[in-house]
Amino acid sequence: MKEGKYIYCVIKANEPKTFGSLGVGERGDELHTIRFNDIAVVVSNSPIIKYPVSRENTIAHEKAIEEVMKQHVVLPVRFCTIAEDEAKVKKILEKEYEKFKNLLGEMKGKKELGLKAIFKEDVIYKDILERYEDIKKLKKTAASKPPEATHYERMEIGKMVETALEKEKEIYEKTILDALLPLAVEHKTNKTYGERMIINAAFLVEKSKETEFDQNVHELDEKYGNKVKFKYVGTIPPFNFVNLVINIGEY
């Protein structure tokens, strides 16, 4: 099978670098650089194949980039980008030199921080049932009837709770964004999963603002932690803000 170069990310580098045996594909391929002027692509040797988008492969791709990120500003490249040889990689770097150089400049001194906020199931439904008067009233009506005669009320209560939950999510999302957006250069709200997830967002933050951003997340947790579970992830590659698509066939 023909061997190629699996591309992970673009970095600034004036000399050859290696980053350990972290290559995708479980062969222990060494991560190393291919350079042009003062920028480089981090690659590993790899067969030229279409890697399945499995958890195992995507995690290996991300871990490789995270390792490089410990020392460098990185521009992540889309999963499973494989060039046929070193000459092709250098050609890409030469052709895209100005674009890559500018993007590296833009990302310098910034990092991606991720935040998910999820309502605690045992708290939020109880809270809605207690606070929304129309729901309380209908529950009272249902309680006065025999169980077999409450089908309509139960259906209606379910719909009303669902509507109330969406309203609560909107209120909390606005509160969270109002606290964090002033400290972010850019943000992206991603798809939420499950009915209780309020927000699944990524923030691009200047390193100088990171401590303040951390503090604001901590304050949100202090204030709403009885109802909301916050999952905060720092120092991850900026996949939400840069994910280079390199179409090998165009070079």
Is the per-residue pLDDT at 147 higher than 90? no
Residues 67, 131: one domain? no
Q: Which residue has the higher pLDDT, 177 or 161?
A: 177
Pair (142, 228) in one structural domain? yes
Residues 119 and 186 in one domain: yes
Residue 59 in domain: yes
Together in a domain, 159 and 96: no
Residue 245 is assigned to a structural domain of this protein: no
- Per DSSP, helices labelled H in the chain are 55-69, 86-95, 97-107, 121-131, 133-143, 151-180, 210-224
Pull the structure tokens for residue 137.
């009233």
Q: Quick check: is 250 in a domain?
A: no
Q: 113, 202 in Cβ contact below 8 A?
A: yes
Residues 93 and 153 in one domain: no
What is the Cα–Cα distance from 243 to 96, expressed in whole angstroms? 15
Q: Is the pLDDT of residue 125 over 90?
A: no
| Domain count across the chain | 2
Verify that 76 and 19 share a domain, yes or no.
Answer: yes
Statement to judge: residues 21 and 95 lie in one domain: yes
Domain stops at, among 108, 129, 150: 108
Please provide the size of the chain in residues.
Answer: 251
> How confident is the model over 33-46, as pLDDT tens digits?
999 999 999 999 99
- Cβ within 8 Å of residue 116, ≥6 positions away: 197, 199, 200, 201, 230, 231
Angle, alpha carbons 42-44-49 (nearest 5°): 120
Note whether residue 243 is domain-resident.
no
Chosen domain end from 54, 82, 108: 108
Number of Cα atoms under 13 Å in the Cβ half of residue 206: 7
Question: Predicted confidence band at 144 (pLDDT cuts at 50, 70, 90)?
Answer: low
Q: Which of 61, 79, 108 is the last residue of a domain?
A: 108
Domain-located, residue 242: no
Query: Considering the domain boundaries, does residue 87 fall inside one?
Result: yes
Give the strand pairing for 75-83 and 39-47.
Answer: unpaired
Assess contact for 91 and 246: CB atoms under 8 A: no
Q: Is the pLDDT of residue 143 over 90?
A: no
Q: pLDDT category, 151, cuts 50, 70, 90?
A: confident
Q: 74 and 188 share a domain?
A: no
DSSP 8-class letter at 85: S
Higher pLDDT, 129 or 22: 22
pLDDT score of 149: 65
Exposure b/e, 214-242, CB count within 10 A at least 16 = b:
eebbeebeeebeebbbbeeeeebbbbbbb
Residue 146 has pLDDT above 80, yes or no: no
pLDDT band with cut points at 50, 70 and 90 for residue 201: very high
Question: Does residue 125 share a domain with residue 34?
Answer: no
Tell me: do 90 and 57 sit in the same domain. yes
Q: How far apart are the first and last CA of the chain?
A: 22
Does one domain contain both 15 and 79? Answer: yes
Is residue 120, in this structure, part of any structural domain at all?
yes
Range of the domain at 68: 3-108
Whether residue 248 is contained in a domain is answered as no
Nearest to 81 by CA among 238, 242, 241, 244: 244
CA–CA separation, 7 and 39 (whole Å): 14
pLDDT tens per residue across span 67-104? 999 999 999 999 999 999 999 999 999 999 999 999 99
Same domain, 120 and 190: yes
